[in-house]
Structure 1
Amino acid sequence: MLRHIDLWREMDRIRKEFDNIFSGYQRVTDSGTYPLLNVYDNRDEVIVTAELPGMTKEKVNITFMDEVLTVSGKLEPLADTQKMTAVRRERSIGAFEKRVHVPFKVQQDKISASFEDGVLTIRMPKSEEARPKTITIE
């Protein structure tokens, strides 16, 4: 049985390595599954979206340093459920931190964030040198 578990663990490790190699975005830390993040790249900017149901923008912290974007905060239990016993709990509560490596130079002073309907959107304009250049053939 132990050998079977080790095999699955090794397969998971290899899958993660392939994900990192081919994704273009490398996870800096394995910070769990919360919040769920999507990272998009277009010509002019990198856009990160995070699902944060039940959160308010005041409870979310965003930092960017050394090409690493960090989203952190604390999800509190709903007030009316604090005195109840959970029969089933699938929704995370407590402190969280998620980091993602951004492999492009971005204009840090122009990073913006918005929060609507439980979805955080972070826009990071690329630096001029990170944008693709069209080369004319002479």
Structure 2
Amino acid sequence: MSLVPRDSWFDFNQMFDHALPTLRHKFDVESFSPRIDIVEKDESFEITADLPGVRKEDISVQINSGNLTIEATTSRDEEQKEGDKVIRKERYEGKLMRSFYLGHNLKQETISASFTDGVLRVEVPKVEPSQPSSTKIEVK
């Protein structure tokens, strides 16, 4: 049983196939970004990103001024035998990127990342925010 009807407005891929078939490829290439979950815990942020078809060597994770950026590239498989005809091509090829602001209370030197079975996991430890100190100023 399908919970979302095949021709519903929620099936954006099919909507573009039917309404604007020539723009579908352009839309996909310019707007693709990986699916990401961010969980804030007491001591860290945990970021999980789905990067199917990406090799570990093609992933870059950077943090700059509290902004975490995940970039990855997938390469095009140019191998095609003579007489083969591509009927439909839906798998993304190109550059993927997501960026998030996590704040300034981070331990940048202890950020860790792992990549297994197409899933990237990044752990960003937090530091306790410094409490503003108060000083009494004598009025003369």
For 1:1-138, list aligned pairs within 5 A: 32-78=31-77, 80=79, 85-103=85-103, 105-129=105-129
Q: Residue 27 of structure 1 aligns with which residue?
A: none
SS in 1 for 2:129: helix
Identity across the alignment (%): 27
Kindly state the Cα deviation for residue 74 of structure 1 after the two structures are TM-superposed.
1.1
Which structure features the higher share of helix residues? 1
Q: C-alpha root-mean-square deviation of aligned residues, in Å?
A: 2.3
Return the TM-score normalized by structure 1: 0.63
By relative contact order (CA 8 Å, sep 6+), the higher-ranking structure is 1
Number of residue pairs aligned between Structure 1 and Structure 2: 100
Q: Which runs of 5+ in 1 are unaligned?
A: 1-30, 131-138
Q: Which runs of 5+ in 2 are unaligned?
A: 1-29, 131-140
Q: Following TM superposition, where does structure 1 have runs of at least 4 consecutive aligned residues deviating by more than 4 angstroms?
A: 81-85
Kindly state the Cα deviation for residue 42 of structure 1 after the two structures are TM-superposed.
0.7
- The structure with the larger Rg is 2
Return the TM-score normalized by structure 2: 0.63
